[in-house]
Amino acid sequence: MATSPDFLRLATNATRALADTALDSLRDAVLVVDARHRHLPLVLANATARRYLTGETATPELIETPLAHLLGAASAGKISTILASASDPRTPTNRVMVWRFIHGEHSAMTDIKPLQSGAGQRLVMLTFPPPASQPDLVAAFA
């Protein structure tokens, strides 16, 4: 176990910043939605997701965006059913979903995993890899 003073200071004083940095360094896009609400608002989007969906990594504009606005029509129409079938955190699922990226719509195998949440919460994490047809964006995260 690491016990250096620098590590302990980082772990105790900057837990949120450390988590954000770790999440933003992932190659896959990560979105978390609040499944308690019918419009499935986004509560978290990592840098990869923000870059593909808005073209920028620093924008907070995605927070509170309904998930259906980020999906193609067919995927948006099925998302509630998909999330209802993924209600057990022990059984993550995956589906091919069409996402509305800044360079057009692309299909991506999307992992859907309910997160263990506190009382009164129902968070679901969706992750998907960068589209292979976007080498300029993929190179930016290599």
**Average pLDDT of span 125-131:** 90
Q: Is 3 helix (H, G, I), strand (E, B) or coil?
A: coil
Task: Report whether 8 contacts 14 (CB < 8 A).
Answer: no
For the chain, domains (ranges, CATH) are: 5-140 (3.30.450.20)
The pTM of this model reads 0.76
Q: Is 132 helix (H, G, I), strand (E, B) or coil?
A: coil
Convert the pLDDT of each residue in 4-47 to its tens digit: 555 545 555 556 677 778 888 889 999 999 988 888 999 999 99
